[in-house]
Chain A
Amino acid sequence: MNVKLEGITKVFPNRDRKDKTGVVAVRDFSIDIPDGELVCLLGPSGCGKSTLLYMICGLESPTEGKVFFGETDVTDIPSEKRGVGLVFQNYALYPHLTVRQNIRFPLENLKGSDKLTREDMEDKVLEAAKIVQIDGLLDRKPGQLSGGQQQRVAIARALVKMPKVLLMDEPLSNLDARLRLQTREEIRRIQRQTGITTIFVTHDQEEAMSISDRIVVMRDGVLHQIGHPQDVYNDPANMFVACFLGTPAVNVFNGEIKRGGLYIGNERVMDVNGVKEMPVWVGVRPEGFIPDPEGAFTCDLNGVDVLGRDISVVCSHKSCESVIRTIVSAESEVDCESKTVKFNLKPNKTYIFDKESEERIRFS
């Protein structure tokens, strides 16, 4: 089932009753999510991604705009009739019910022609439990399970009805780092196995990059970019997307375009064609630096960290407010004793942004 959002806006009324304007959580948001894909809604905390998820599942209704499941407009359809499964951030497993009863709960609600016999329910519960590999824990209470196991039960409960769309609200944020990695793979596997369109909310860019077919980057309720993870990483639409994706983050410099070249400080670091002369932000990915004794870009050397396969050259420059973190191959020769280090910049890892709008300026 593909999911389409058309011009979704959500305004929450302000606490202060005199102020009628309200808080805009999501603004004019339109995306089209293809059938069977795993899509991540990615953005910093408070950017409206959970609100968006709640509008897709029907717990919140949009102030403006429409939600489509396939060809059907579900904007005014209550959540129980939308056929969605939702995994909550803190799982929301009923503590007084066993795992089996928890997973069976959605099935027991079915009425009329959908009503299942006890045996059918049992089969479906077992099937869902097997998918998430918790079939040995069915008679335990949620309190007797680890965080990761509870997470799987929550997923099984969301899956047992075979929802058309599976929604996950920061499902990994309560797990420790190791379990998070494991569960991430698990979710990917379950999604592939079931082929259910899955929308996954996270603020962790690494998680989003590794798990999803497509990521949706948003900030302050506004869509910034949508695309395949690698495409978004390689080709960010604006400065926010460039800075939000990737660790270490993009290094941002004050720069200027003049005489057909890009200047940082007084150095002409790169030839740039097809851009008019103006001051710009320059973003360079850590891997975009190539140490070269003849290089065009000189930085003050702070230190060199050996990371094994790579080395991280940490340096600073007066055009950059924070320290510059670069990742260069271990073979490159960097003189640790020297006060400065020279680089050449890779054009495809260097992005130029408008100073005002922070939109990407493309060059050749």
Chain B
Amino acid sequence: MSSRKQLSGVNNVMTQVRGWLYLLPALLFLIAFMVYPLIDVFVYSYQEGFNSASQTSFGIGLYNYKYILRDPYFLKAVKNTFILVIITVPVSTGLSLLISLGLSSIQKLKNMFQTIFFLPYVTNTLAVGLVFMILFRKTPYTDGLVNLLIGKFGISPIDFIDGPYWAKMLVLSIYVIWIVMPFKILILTSALASVPEVYYQSAKIDGTSSWRVFWRITLPMISPMIFYLVITGFIGAFKAYSDAVAIFGVNLNAADMNTIVGYVYDMLYGDGGGYPSYASAAAIVLFAIVLTITVINLIVSRKATDNT
């Protein structure tokens, strides 16, 4: 009995060793390209005036954080990012849910519409940005398609690309929503399709109104997917950068449309670049924000699924 126990103990160790061996290649790459840089960034963010060429700094402290938190460009970037997140995440998720519900209730041409709604996902970000420029931009020669359209309602033309702050934010939000929706629609249509038909049949026999079916059956059944989309949506929107570049060009500070990731980039490589310490501090601040929001999201989603 005891010898068998020992044998199984040896086997157990062997399996564990083998498991780690299989994980080793992935772990090595993760450590080299994820963990080490992360630690590095953390260290840089506390090193005052770090010079990447000479690998030297003046000292260690909170100086970098103090600097960026007083930097109006950084504060602007934080404000822009937050506005973008607060607008785009709920709107894109809600719209995607509506479209998915529509898609799952039609019979004819369903596949065609699914393909159409998925097209933006496979379209290049910059190409979409170009289209948005054409739609929204006001030039000396033309007011742009959107201005022509709203002109019909007697609204005077607005320069969406180079005009007032709210107009630029509106275009950026619409753009981000447009970009992220295909993936959400894809996830939600498959989530809706995975709700077993019998639940609807059972509800039908009991005379449940379609409103109640949606709130009491459909929504709770797909809620894990919705929470997944909200969490990844928050993370994605906080990391927005290329979207702003696609519409407003690389000089985002001039356009007043910079984001936190944009600020990090500027500090590293932009016109006033060469400040890895500030960039690191900004990246750590972004990380802290995303972490906090994600934890809150997880707590809320767990509470919500427990209650339903």
User: Chain A interface (Cβ within 8 Å of chain B)?
Assistant: 57-59, 79-81, 84-86, 88, 90, 92, 94-97, 105-106, 108-110, 161
Contact = CB atoms under 8 A, between A and B. Distances in A.
Given A94-B217, A96-B220, A96-B221, A80 B198 contact: no
Q: Which 7 pairs from chain A and chain B are nearest by CB?
A: A80-B207, A106-B206, A92-B198, A96-B220, A92-B202, A109-B207, A96-B308
B115 interface: no
Q: Is the contact region of chain A dominated by helix, strand, or loop, or is it mixed?
A: loop
Interface string B207-232: 11100100011001100000000000
Contacts, number: 53
A94 B199 contact: yes
Residue of B212, B216, B305 with most chain A CB atoms under a 10 A cut-off: B216
17 contacts: A58-B205, A59-B204, A79-B205, A80-B206, A80-B207, A85-B205, A86-B201, A86-B202, A86-B205, A90-B198, A92-B199, A92-B201, A94-B199, A94-B216, A97-B220, A106-B206, A161-B206
A88 B201 contact: yes
Contacts of A109: 206-209, 212
Contacts of B212: 108-109
A108 B215 CA distance: 13
Contacts of B308: 96-97
Contact of B196 (A58, A92, A97): A92
B175 to A, nearest CB: 36
A164 to B, nearest CB: 13
A97 B205 CA distance: 18
Interface in B175-212: 196, 198-199, 201-209, 212
B205 A80 contact: yes
Given A92-B196, A92-B199, A59 B205 contact: yes
Contacts of B205: 57-59, 79-80, 84-86
Interface in B111-132: none
Contacts of A110: 207
A74 to B, nearest CB: 13
Contacts of A161: 206
B162 to A, nearest CB: 50
Nearest to A96: B220
Contacts of A105: 203, 206, 208, 216
Counting chain A CB atoms within 10 Å of each CB, the highest count among B196, B206, B207, B305 belongs to B206
A241 to B, nearest CB: 31
A103 to B, nearest CB: 11
Nearest to B207: A80
Contacts of A85: 205
Nearest to B220: A96
Nearest to B209: A109
Contacts of A81: 207
Contacts of A79: 204-205
